[in-house]
Amino acid sequence: MMANISELEAFTPQHSYFIGVDSDGCAIDQMNIKHYECFTPAYIKAFSLQPISTIARETAIFVNLFSATRGINRWASIDRFFDLLKDRPEVVAAVESGAITLPEGNDLKAFLASGVPLSFAGIKQWEREYPSAEIRQCIEWGQLVNKLVAWMVMNTQPFEGVRESFEEITASGKADTMVVSSASLEMLHHEWNEHNLAQYMSAIAGQEMGTKAQQIHAAAKGKYPDNHILLLGDAPGDGVAAASEGVLWYPIVPGEEAASWLRFREEALGRFFAGTYAGEYQQALIAEYSTLLPEKPSWPTVSGGGM
């Protein structure tokens, strides 16, 4: 099992093209169950948000599934979650009445801006150097998430068309493939081996090896022409990661995953290999995708910044 980014840097191309594939919500249908049944209840329990549980659930699901921050790193999701809660009139009233207490957020923001890897090991390292009740509460939330995921998430399946797409890539003999993910390596190896998908991958990279952009940079940048590197992902952050490295992105549309994988297999993959993917074709795919995930929520806000 790869454990650090240096092993990605040592990755040697075997083919002329590189395809990176995100995991949750892109290849494997388990993002919804994780957030509805694990992450969101953990926010409510770990931060004692029971008096505003309905609002907390709505906010958490918006942050993690149905907005421009879909797929955000788990520690950054806490920050976004509380920033949005603090801008909701009902939550402000609950705080003022003493029904709930919200974290100030400064210690978490310091961790997020520190450059320390945004992984479980990273936040524990940060706590050792800069101990605080806020960071301890975030870690306890993360531990609860892990317990709930281990308890709840099972028997999830790859999306329709995923296996067929990997088989086609393999049969082409043209591309190296790698899992590019912000999930933990332990979880990724379990999931991809459980579904017998790891056999199609040249490597598996997770949060311990840096951000998705860092993973792409280490494994592929400079080893292939930029237009020979393609990232498949369902979150806006995947597009940002690809763009930051000057490489290509194929968006998997939430709610239309099977259709997205069919189009990839029947249309986009051939264009990628033929050199006609970049430009108008990619931009049309991104424009279609971008209309589905707003940056701002629709509910009323204290700041007046809602849609």
pTM, two decimal places: 0.85
Main-chain dihedrals φ then ψ at residue 257, nearest 5 degrees: -65, -45
How far is Cα of residue 3 from the mean position of the Cα atoms in its chain? 19
Main-chain dihedrals φ then ψ at residue 24, nearest 5 degrees: -60, 130
Residue 19: helix, strand or coil by DSSP?
strand
* Cα–Cα distance, 231 to 182 (Å, whole number): 14
Q: Compute the residue count for the chain.
A: 307
Residue 3: predicted pLDDT? 56
Q: Residue 193 belongs to what H/E stretch?
A: helix 185-194
Residue 306: predicted pLDDT? 53
Contact indicator for 77, 56 with CB cutoff of 8 Å: no
| Bridge partner residues of 29 (DSSP) | none
CA distances to 31, 152, 293 from 36, in Å: 9, 11, 18
- Crossing angle, helix 74-85 and helix 53-64, to 10 degrees? 130
Which tokens go with 304?
A: 């007046």
Which tokens go with 201?
A: 């991958």
Nearest one of 62, 46, 136 to 293, comparing CA atoms: 62
Q: What Rg, from alpha-carbon coordinates, does the chain have? A: 20
Burial class (CB in 10 A: 0-12, 13-18, 19+), 88: buried
Which tokens go with 152?
A: 């709840």
How far is Cα of residue 84 from the mean position of the Cα atoms in its chain? 19
- Crossing angle, helix 120-129 and helix 133-152, to 10 degrees? 160
- Crossing angle, helix 212-219 and helix 236-244, to 10 degrees? 40
Across the beta sheet with 175-180, the strand order is 203-205, 175-180, 17-21, 229-233, 248-251
Q: What tens-digit pLDDT sequence spans the chain (307 residues)? A: 445 788 899 999 999 999 999 999 999 999 999 999 999 999 999 999 999 999 999 999 999 999 999 988 899 999 999 999 999 999 999 999 999 999 999 999 999 999 998 888 899 999 999 999 999 999 999 999 999 998 998 889 999 999 999 999 999 999 999 999 988 888 899 889 989 999 999 999 998 888 899 999 999 999 999 999 999 999 999 999 999 999 999 999 999 999 999 999 999 999 999 999 999 999 999 999 999 999 999 999 999 865 4
Contact indicator for 211, 185 with CB cutoff of 8 Å: no
CA distances to 184, 210, 214, 218 from 4, in Å: 12, 8, 11, 11
* Cα–Cα distance, 149 to 141 (Å, whole number): 12
Residue 209 is given by DSSP the state G
Residue 281: predicted pLDDT? 98
How far is Cα of residue 26 from the mean position of the Cα atoms in its chain? 9
* Cα–Cα distance, 248 to 237 (Å, whole number): 13
